C-alpha cells in the first residue's frame, strides 16, 4: 500500500461541507473519492485534516489516501483535475510515509475570515465575503482578539460538544488586518471546534459594531456560555488557508499544472 498526501483547493459554495453525509447535498470528500475510484479502479477513502462546514472554502486543505495502485503521482494529478468539477482542484500530490495521517499528524491550521465593509460588494467577491457595510472599531477588535491567544476553554464559541469531548484549544495567533475595503480576521491554532472560527469572527464583528463592552471576550472565555457570545458569521466568508505538519521526508511530490 502507498500513502499519498493531497493538497486540495475548493470553492465550497455548492457543497454540504467536506464530509460524506447520508442526506443532503454533494460533499467535497464524496466527489473526490468517486473520481479517485474511477481512475484507480479501487475504493479510495480520503481522510482530511478536518471537516469544513457547508459553504466554507479552502486554499490548501490536506488529505491522505492509501492505495494499491502504482500510478505515478504526476499522472494521477492530471487525471484527477481533468475529471473533478472546476470548483475542486488537487494542487499537489506526493507519496509520503505510512505513518502520515492528515488529521492526527497536523500541528496547526490557519483560517481567514473575509469581511467586506464597502457599500456595494463587487459581484466577483459576493460568494467569498461577509458584507458588513458599517464602520467597525478595528482597534477594539484587535484588543479583544488578543484575549483569544493561548490555551483556553472555547465552549462559548462552539456548538455543544459531547460530555467527554474537551473544548480546550490553543490559539497561536489572531490578527485583524485591513485590506482596502476588506477586513481579514486570521486565526491559527492547534485545532478548532465545530463552528468555532465563525463564532469567533462573528463575536469580533459584534465587538467592532459596539455590541459588546471592552473585556467581553475574556468574560466569555471564563463563563463558557454560548448564548452570551456573538453571532455565528456566515460560512461563505471563511477559508482554510493552510495546514502545518512536522517536517517529513517525502518520497515523491508533484504539483499539478
Active site residues: 53
**Strand positions, DSSP E, the chain:** 2-10, 47-48, 57-67, 88-96, 108-116, 130-131, 150-153, 168-179, 182-189, 238-244, 252-255
What is the per-residue DSSP string for 171-200?
EEEEEEEEETTEEEEEEEES---TTHHHHH
* Nearest one of 110, 58, 115 to 88, comparing CA atoms: 58
Give the three-state DSSP class for 55. coil
With cell 459553504, the residue in question is 55
* Nearest one of 119, 121, 77, 115 to 95, comparing CA atoms: 77
Assign 3-state DSSP to the chain and report helix, strand, coil percentages, each to 5: 25, 30, 45
Q: Under 8 Å CB-to-CB from 79, ≥6 apart: which residues?
A: 39, 71
Amino acid at each position: 500500500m502507498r500513502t499519498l498526501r493531497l493538497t486540495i483547493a475548493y470553492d465550497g459554495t455548492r457543497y454540504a461541507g467536506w464530509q460524506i453525509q447520508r442526506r443532503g447535498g454533494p460533499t467535497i470528500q464524496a466527489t473526490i473519492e468517486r473520481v479517485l475510484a474511477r481512475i484507480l479502479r479501487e475504493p479510495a477513502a480520503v481522510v482530511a485534516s478536518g471537516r469544513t462546514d457547508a459553504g466554507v472554502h479552502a486554499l490548501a486543505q490536506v488529505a491522505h489516501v492509501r492505495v494499491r495502485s502504482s500510478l505515478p503521482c504526476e499522472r494521477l494529478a492530471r487525471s484527477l483535475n481533468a475529471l473533478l468539477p472546476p470548483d475542486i482542484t488537487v494542487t499537489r500530490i506526493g507519496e509520503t510515509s505510512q505513518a502520515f495521517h492528515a488529521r492526527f499528524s497536523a500541528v496547526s491550521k490557519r483560517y481567514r475570515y473575509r469581511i467586506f465593509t464597502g457599500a456595494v460588494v463587487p459581484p466577483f467577491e459576493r460568494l467569498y465575503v461577509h458584507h458588513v457595510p458599517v464602520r467597525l472599531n478595528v482597534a477594539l477588535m484587535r484588543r479583544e482578539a488578543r484575549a483569544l491567544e493561548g490555551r483556553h476553554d472555547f465552549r462559548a464559541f462552539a456548538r455543544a460538544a459531547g460530555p467527554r469531548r474537551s473544548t480546550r484549544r490553543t490559539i497561536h495567533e489572531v490578527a485583524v488586518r485591513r485590506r482596502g475595503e476588506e477586513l481579514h480576521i486570521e486565526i491559527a491554532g492547534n485545532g478548532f471546534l465545530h463552528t468555532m472560527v465563525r463564532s469567533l469572527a462573528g463575536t469580533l464583528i459584534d465587538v467592532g459594531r459596539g455590541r459588546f463592552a471592552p473585556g467581553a471576550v475574556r468574560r466569555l472565555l471564563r463563563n463558557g456560555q454560548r448564548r452570551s457570545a456573538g453571532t455565528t458569521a456566515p460560512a461563505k466568508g471563511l477559508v482554510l488557508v493552510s495546514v502545518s505538519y512536522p517536517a517529513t521526508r517525502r518520497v515523491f511530490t508533484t504539483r499539478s499544472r
